[in-house]
Structure 1
């Protein structure tokens, strides 16, 4: 059995203070994929990773992004799109030699060139399972249709910023679609199943957003964003594992705003996913978001999404 979790921690140092380590000890997943680690490598709180081997791609944007994969045993291989990768084991941090880090998918899609140093993607081959795991933090983007843009008379500079963030996300989509296909096909050629997890900053359908009607003009639920995500899924390519386990359920949501009563009222979005190759997806025996009951116990504005895969069936 493989227990795989994805968790946008919204800053590992803040998450540690709020109880991330306690969740890890209680839940004990075999693999934990983290997004928004948001910490320089030399400032990472190493004790939070006790009992795990970690590969970490922090990127170069101070206080932003950063993806990591925690595993019980050292990984067999690690791949990124570029940028420095660090290893954490036994309370020690060390850079991974560049020659030991491969290029995910073999080659990089041209539109992704501007993102290679941002700490948005890392991919590992598990040593004890025939599975390749990709960990993604997709840009948030923006929307010119959002109420905050339409009602507050933004300055030309503010409008340009909104437009730039929207167009940047569209460029990421353009590059990541083919890049994802390359990684999936490379894993299958190597005799491995593939699963992509992480924070996509996109909700699939109306069942994935509590207040979906006004959300249709917001970043993360625009028609073009939803269409892109739909294009990545199919019965022969990738399966949305949690939705396949909960086909008729609203949610389960994985993100709630810190503002107001969003969490208490469960006014959330489902934007964190497990997208697995069909054979691996069929082995999923359980999977859901692990939402804290007490708002004061929240580690992040996201909650972990955990799936149990019966890999003995592979």
Structure 2
């Protein structure tokens, strides 16, 4: 069995203070995908990734983004959009991480090129299972210009710039995802994409969907894009396949108010697996807190696969 988790930790230093290291040591995961590490190598805490091997893409924006995949065995291969990654062994200190080339094997779509240095994507081939694991932090986005109402917005209107950025990313990533999934298949590997997708796919994926029909993250065009990525022959939403008729389970809640206590959340953290792998999923859990403490505004989504 493989126990695999994805977690947007919203800063490795903050989540360590809340108990992430103990969660990592005791949860028994074989693979963990992390988003929003939010630290350059020299700013990582000691023993940030515990007893795991780490493949890390920090990006170049200080204190922002950053993705990693943690594995029990050193990965057989690592690929990023920037062409490089940091690798470290168990209990590695920041100075122990080494730069390695991590050249992608499929062409990068033109619309993804502005994101090359942002630390949003990394993928690894497991050494101990025929599986490629990809980790994604998809841009949050915003509203199109015609939908922006200053009196209803927490941030100043941007003329739709963040919306256009996200839609460009989606257009490029859809093509890229197909290409890298097919490349994994050609190598005899199943494929698993995990991460913070910043999209609630269906009405079952957020608590107050009627109120959010004109909210970024639940716009019709975002949800349509998500529809196109899934099919019984390409990729399967694993957690939804295990809970076809249930609301949630949610994985993100605002820090404000009683959202977490009342479970008024969004499901935006996903396992998207090739069908053969998805069929082996036998159990899942959202670790809402750890010993009574929230590790982040997101919670880890953990799935047990009978085989990889």
The verdict on a shared fold, with TM-score over 0.5 as the criterion, is yes
Q: Deviations over 1:93-125 (max 9, x none)?
A: 333332xx120x521111100000000000000
Match of 1:251 in 2: 248
Q: Distance in 1 between matches of 2:259 and 2:67?
A: 26
- Secondary structure (helix, strand or coil) at the match of 1:247 reads coil
Q: Distance in 1 between matches of 2:57 and 2:164?
A: 25
- Secondary structure (helix, strand or coil) at the match of 2:103 reads strand
Match of 1:52 in 2: 52
Deviation at 1:45, TM superposition (A): 1.3
Q: Distance in 2 between matches of 1:288 and 1:153?
A: 35
Instruction: Verify: 1:102 aligned to 2:99, yes or no.
Output: no
Q: Distance in 1 between matches of 2:306 and 2:229?
A: 24
- Secondary structure (helix, strand or coil) at the match of 2:151 reads coil
- Secondary structure (helix, strand or coil) at the match of 1:118 reads coil
Aligned positions of 1:140-151 closer than 5 A: 140-144=140-144, 149-150=148-149
Q: Distance in 2 between matches of 1:293 and 1:44?
A: 22
Instruction: Verify: 1:270 aligned to 2:267, yes or no.
Output: yes
Aligned positions of 1:176-215 closer than 5 A: 176-215=173-212
Match of 1:117 in 2: 117
Q: Distance in 2 between matches of 1:110 and 1:297?
A: 42
Q: Distance in 1 between matches of 2:28 and 2:146?
A: 40
Runs of 4+ aligned residues of structure 1 deviating over 4 Å after TM superposition are: 144-147
Deviation at 1:293, TM superposition (A): 7.9
Q: Deviations over 1:241-292 (max 9, x none)?
A: 0000011110000000011110011000000000000000001111131212
Q: Distance in 1 between matches of 2:37 and 2:283?
A: 26
Q: 1:293 to 1:57 in 2, by over 3 A?
A: closer
Instruction: Verify: 1:298 aligned to 2:294, yes or no.
Output: yes
Deviation at 1:85, TM superposition (A): 1.1
> Is the 2:25–2:50 contact (alpha carbons within 8 Å) kept by the matching residues of 1?
no
Q: Distance in 2 between matches of 1:63 and 1:56?
A: 14
Q: Distance in 2 between matches of 1:162 and 1:47?
A: 43
Q: 1:41 to 1:288 in 2, by over 3 A?
A: same
Q: Deviations over 1:106-150 (max 9, x none)?
A: 211111000000000000000001000000000000114899x42
Which protein has the bigger helix share? Answer: 1
> Is the 2:25–2:51 contact (alpha carbons within 8 Å) kept by the matching residues of 1?
no
Match of 2:156 in 1: 158
- Secondary structure (helix, strand or coil) at the match of 1:227 reads helix
> Is the 1:76–1:125 contact (alpha carbons within 8 Å) kept by the matching residues of 2?
yes
Q: Distance in 2 between matches of 1:167 and 1:57?
A: 25
Deviation at 1:46, TM superposition (A): 3.1
Aligned positions of 1:66-81 closer than 5 A: 66-81=66-81
Aligned residue pairs total 304
Match of 2:6 in 1: 6
> Is the 2:24–2:50 contact (alpha carbons within 8 Å) kept by the matching residues of 1?
no
Match of 1:308 in 2: 304
Match of 2:40 in 1: 40
Match of 1:284 in 2: 281
Q: 1:309 to 1:153 in 2, by over 3 A?
A: closer
Residue of structure 1 aligned with 2:220, choices 215, 223, 233:
223
